[in-house]
């Protein structure tokens, strides 16, 4: 069996975002500094951010991560979708580090294992380790964290295939149990509707954002099931909301919204992007 390399090879540096460290840092810093945040009444427990190529969603993502600029966290848990088919329900990197052009981020293996063990007890399955994955939606958030946060941090990466409320609530409670007492930030990675007209996308996305602002993980899941709203990372958002509730969070506030059509000028078929914070 071929040994697993310590560092996860990036499939998207140089395409989804710049591979040159100086260019990448400057681009991310511009997104962060350009975000005009409203007053936030409470402490940021989690952020919800999009995950397209930076040219399309970087400006929106900047709003989410600007809300934690200069904050210090020891651990960041990123929950994202897993777009590729996989037998695992919850997955995490088998590598020891994620890497971007801005440096390496260690995976908190002990925390991953603790969450997995709790899931195993409750659901009968845990977190499946995978190597050399090509999932972009988790990695794309890392340069924002590397530039926004004041200190180095460990990473708890979880990629989610499930849209089952019971499984996601169980994950949320397992995360809350393991993270309690730790200086941790939650990040939910999701885009919104895909390939509708600008008019239809805004209608669908407003409903999905409304369910998020209602602090309703069930509503987020049901919106897609009923065809009223769409989010490829709805499982990640739902699990994050379940976790945040356990931490006493009370409010979700949308910070920014746009579509790919706002960048490309093509409004016939767009992807929606939203940024939000979860506050206590």
Give 10-residue mean pLDDT values along the chain (280 residues).
87 97 98 96 97 98 98 98 94 98 98 98 98 97 98 97 98 98 98 98 98 98 96 98 97 98 97 98
Degrees, nearest 5: CA angle 145-146-148: 60
Beta-carbon contacts of residue 15 (< 8 Å; ≥ 6 apart): 53
- Other CB atoms within a 10 A radius of the CB of residue 2 amount to 6
pLDDT over 90, % of the chain: 98
What local confidence, expressed as pLDDT, does residue 222 receive? 97
Using only the alpha carbons of the chain, give its radius of gyration. Answer: 17
Distance of alpha carbon 277 from alpha carbon 272, whole angstroms: 17
Residue with tokens 């699990």: 239
Distance of alpha carbon 31 from alpha carbon 246, whole angstroms: 31
* pTM exceeding the 0.85 threshold for the entire prediction: yes
> Coil, helix or strand for 85?
coil
What local confidence, expressed as pLDDT, does residue 1 receive? 58
Task: Please report the domains of the chain, with CATH numbers, ordered by start residue.
Answer: 36-279 (3.40.830.10)
Distance of alpha carbon 59 from alpha carbon 268, whole angstroms: 21
């Amino acid at each position: 069996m071929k040994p697993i390399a310590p560092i996860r090879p990036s499939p998207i540096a140089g395409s989804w975002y710049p591979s040159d460290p100086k260019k990448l840092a400057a681009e991310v810093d511009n997104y962060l500094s350009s975000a005009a945040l409203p007053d936030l009444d409470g402490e940021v427990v989690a952020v919800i951010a999009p995950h397209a190529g930076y040219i399309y969603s970087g400006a929106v993502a900047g709003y989410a991560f600007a809300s934690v600029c200069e904050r210090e966290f020891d651990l960041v848990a990123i929950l994202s979708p897993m777009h590729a088919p996989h037998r695992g329900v919850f997955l995490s990197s088998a590598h020891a580090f994620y890497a971007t052009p801005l440096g390496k981020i260690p995976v908190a293996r002990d925390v991953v294992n603790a969450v997995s063990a709790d899931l195993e007890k409750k659901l009968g399955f845990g977190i499946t380790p995978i190597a050399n994955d090509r999932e972009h939606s988790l990695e794309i958030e890392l340069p924002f964290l590397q530039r926004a946060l004041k200190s180095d941090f460990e990473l708890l990466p979880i990629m989610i295939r499930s849209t089952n409320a019971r499984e996601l609530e169980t994950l949320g409670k397992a995360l809350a149990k393991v993270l309690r007492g730790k200086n941790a930030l939650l990040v939910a990675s999701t885009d919104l509707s895909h390939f509708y007209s600008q008019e239809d996308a805004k209608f669908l996305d407003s409903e999905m954002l409304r369910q998020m602002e209602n602090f309703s993980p069930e509503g987020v899941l049901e919106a897609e099931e009923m065809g009223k709203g769409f989010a490829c990372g709805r499982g990640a958002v739902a699990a994050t909301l379940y976790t945040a509730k356990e931490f006493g969070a009370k409010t979700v506030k949308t910070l920014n919204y746009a579509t790919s059509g706002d960048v490309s000028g093509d409004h016939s078929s767009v992807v929606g992007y939203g940024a939000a914070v979860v506050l206590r």
